[in-house]
Amino acid sequence: MPTESNQPATDSKARFSNRVDDYIRYRPGYPPEVLEILRREAGLTSDFTIADIGSGTGISTEMFLRNGNTVFGVEPNEAMRSAAERLLSGYPKFRSVAAPAEATTLADGSIDMLTAAQAFHWFDRARTRPEFVRILRPRGLLVILWNTRLVDTTPLLRGYEALSIEFATDYQTIDHRNVDDKIIAAFYAPSRCEKRTVPNHQVFDYAGLQGRLLSSSYAPPLGHPRHEPMLAALRNLFEEHAVPDAAGRRTVRFDYDTEIFFGPLA
């Protein structure tokens, strides 16, 4: 999604449908500091009713369900939503909603806190903001979360970034980093948002590294002419940088900054 356009990629509601299994297994979760910050600085309690917008397979949704919240997982992609319904079926306070961010179907003034985890860059912001204001209670909060992969801190991460640029179908177009802090601040305006950043990481063997890449919507899928060359380059990258872990497995590490934006929209 180009930064200036305010329009999501046209296939944004369908593009993860063939990547659900890899998404579930290999996408990063969120560190415990996220809840600690929201409790301490945003007043989050277990009594809040939360709508997790673009909830996908439920990675962020589960974090708030574990906190005791009632959570509406609002997700337009059928495959991802079905996975969340299966994975979160043990939580009685989970509510699955088949709807996009721009038309959530939720009741007026029914939500204490909205969350958008790794999803905000897909939204049509001009249509989404009034919808968010409609469903939030007075002084209700919006929380935007990103796991931002660091791209220039280790040789492995520099190589992975170069590989993504070389082989991906539209990586630089839909990268969430195109939505910078100024765009996010403008979405909250005239209210103000706070930002906090905490470290996060994943450790992968080769199967995990491949699954992490294939979970990304920009990675060429099986059958695409770039798919096999991409995996060959990934294998070479792994072999060059993998080191033994405590159990003797050869692994690589992905480092992230988990970025947390929070504040009212009113």
In this structure, the number of other CB atoms found within 10 A of the CB of residue 195 comes to 13
CA 119 from centroid of its chain's CA atoms? 5
pLDDT at 6: 43
pLDDT given at position 19:
72
pLDDT tens per residue across span 151-182: 999 999 999 999 999 998 776 665 566 789 99
Predicted confidence (pLDDT) per residue in 140-158, tens digit? 999 999 999 999 999 999 9
- More confident call, 16 vs 230: 230
Which pTM was predicted? 0.89
How would you classify residue 140: left for phi > 0, otherwise alpha for psi between -120 and 50, otherwise beta? beta
Question: What pLDDT was estimated at residue 1?
Answer: 29
Whether the pLDDT of residue 4 is over 50: the answer is no
Q: Which residues contact 174 (CB under 8 A, 6 or more apart)?
A: 1, 9, 12, 121, 217, 218
CA dihedral 123, 113, 200, 211 (to 10 degrees): -50
CB 76 within 8 Å of CB 16: no
**What is residue 2's predicted lDDT score, i.e. its pLDDT?**
29
- Judge whether residue 8 has pLDDT over 60: no
Q: Would you state the pLDDT for residue 117?
A: 97
If you write DSSP's letter for every residue of the chain in order, what string do you get?
Answer: --TTT----TTTTTTTGGGHHHHHHHS----THHHHHHHHHH---TT-EEEEET-TTSHHHHHHHHTT-EEEEE---HHHHHHHHHHTTT-TTEEEE---TT---PPTT-EEEEEEES-GGGS-HHHHHHHHHHHEEEEEEEEEEEEEE-SSSSHHHHHHHHHHHHH-SSHHHH-GGGS-HHHHHHHHTTS--EEEEEEEEEEE-HHHHHHHHHTSTTSPPTTSTTHHHHHHHHHHHHHHH-EE-TTS-EEEEEEEEEEEEEEE--
> Residue 11: its pLDDT value, please?
53
| The pLDDT of residue 235 | 98
Q: What is the pLDDT of residue 247?
A: 92
State the average pLDDT over residues 65-92: 97
Question: Stretch 84-106: mean pLDDT, rounded?
Answer: 98
- Nearest CA to 12 out of 173, 209, 227 is that of 173
At 102-125, the pLDDT tens digits run 999 999 999 999 999 999 999 999
User: In the structure, what pLDDT confidence band is assigned to residue 262 with cuts at 50, 70 and 90?
Assistant: very high
Average predicted confidence (pLDDT) for the chain: 91
Q: What count of Cα atoms within 13 Å lies in the side-chain half-sphere of residue 48?
A: 26
